[in-house]
Amino acid sequence: MNTIIIDGLSFALPLLIIAIGGIYSERSGITNLALEGLLGFGAFSGGLFVAATAGVFAPTSQVPLYLSFLVAAGGGALFSILHAVLCIKFRADQVISGVVVNIVSIALTGFFTSTINAAVFGQASNKFMLSTSPRLTIPLISKIPLLGAVFTNFYPFEVIILVLVALCWYLLYRTRYGLHLRAAGDNPQALDAAGIDVARVRFKAVLMSGALSGVGGMCFAYSISTNFSPAIYFGSGYLAIAALIFGNWKIMPTFAACLIFGFARSAAYQLVLALNADASVADLAMITPYVITLLLLAFFAKTNRSPRALGELYDKSKR
């Protein structure tokens, strides 16, 4: 059970920060199916930083690890400008824009990784190898049955994510900007009448979604693959979208959805190990979160209430 909790949290928390990025974008009125591409480009940026600074820091230094999350956030935010410009400036279909951004991200990061490795590092590889992330255990508390598993063998980025979740919750629900953002997705006409630039609020929200997705992508690069490669695109962005929909575009219910997905994935994997099944069965077990997604969306779809102006192009002349 402890292993299920430990591994479940290491998957659920990065998924949560990506989903919160989606919440920021969609609560502002911009449909964001581009989370998969944003997390991938963020992980690419952080992986490139680690590869480029490999000889700068001491081998045991953890500074590159923490700086890589800042770079990943910047890379994700930078790449999200493409989605923001297409949807807000050029008024493109937001669903199509998100799909295009995902495809472009996969193509660009794969090409850049292979090219940079060949030209700069002299390696024929499509991966940026990352240093092994340390794991931490808090004495005494970790000995408590079940609850202690939360404080056992966890990644440092899990603490970072929890801090970010608290800050994002406060920003969205307790600040003037959060009020403007939610109004942009529910009643942009009223927000415009109050003298607030709807396009600017939405643009910032999309940038926020890119930054948070980049952090989540870097977390997955450290915890799941210990490198950046095209394998980082394994559907977690779409799973984050499902989590925020199931969570009704609210942070805490989305947190619960991510925990369900994370623990389901971890439990399925541990069951495979207990049965000593072959690799093909293990791969099949990894679809458990997606099956649960389908079931949850099927049973709870009628209770979901999306932002009223989600996906709608705001025309100031029709105010």
Q: What is the pLDDT of residues 88-144, one digit of tens each?
A: 999 999 999 999 999 999 999 999 999 999 998 888 888 998 887 889 998 888 888
Residue pLDDT, tens place only, 70-88 = 999 999 999 999 999 999 9
Question: Could you tell me which residue, 314 or 47, shows the higher pLDDT?
Answer: 47
Q: Is residue 26 part of a domain?
A: yes
Q: What is the mean pLDDT of the chain?
A: 91
Greatest Cα-to-Cα distance within the chain, rounded to the nearest angstrom: 64
Q: Which amino acid is at 146?
A: L
What is the tally of structural domains in the chain? Answer: 1
Residue in this structure with the two tokens 């948070």, named with its chain if needed: 212
Q: Give 248's DSSP letter.
A: T
Question: Could you tell me which residue, 315 or 184, shows the higher pLDDT?
Answer: 184
Q: Is residue 103 part of a domain?
A: yes
Where is average pLDDT lowest: 4-8, 45-49, 297-301?
297-301
- Average pLDDT in the 307-312 region? 92
Alpha-helical runs (H) found in 28-155: 35-52, 63-84, 94-119
pLDDT of 286 over the 90 cut: no
Confidence of residue 274 (pLDDT cuts 50, 70, 90): confident
Residues β-bridged to residue 138: none
What is the CATH classification number for the domain harbouring 288?
1.10.3470
Distance, in Å, from the CA atom of 159 to the CA atom of 154, rounded to the nearest integer, reads 9
The pTM of the full predicted model, rounded to 2 decimals, is 0.94
State residue 129 phi and psi, 5-degree precision: -75, 140
The token pair at 124 is 């024929």
Question: Could you tell me which residue, 252 or 265, shows the higher pLDDT?
Answer: 252
Q: What is the pLDDT of residue 134?
A: 87
Q: What is the pLDDT of residue 244?
A: 94
Q: Is residue 61 part of a domain?
A: yes
The token pair at 87 is 């949807």
Q: Which domain holds residue 222?
A: 2-133+147-318
Q: Is residue 201 part of a domain?
A: yes
Confidence of residue 248 (pLDDT cuts 50, 70, 90): very high
Q: Report, in angstroms and rounded to the nearest whole number, the Rg of the chain calculated over CA atoms.
A: 20
- N residues, the chain: 319
Alpha-carbon distance values, 287 to 6, 33, 291, 293 (Å): 19, 20, 6, 10
Q: Nearest CA to 208 among 12, 66, 17, 16?
A: 17
Number of Cβ atoms within 10 Å of the Cβ of 12: 26
Q: Is residue 205 part of a domain?
A: yes
CB 157, CB 66: distance < 8 Å: no
Distance, in Å, from the CA atom of 208 to the CA atom of 185, rounded to the nearest integer, reads 15
Q: Is residue 226 part of a domain?
A: yes
Q: What is the pLDDT of residue 233?
A: 94
- Average pLDDT in the 216-223 region? 94
Q: Nearest CA to 152 among 50, 5, 299, 253?
A: 5
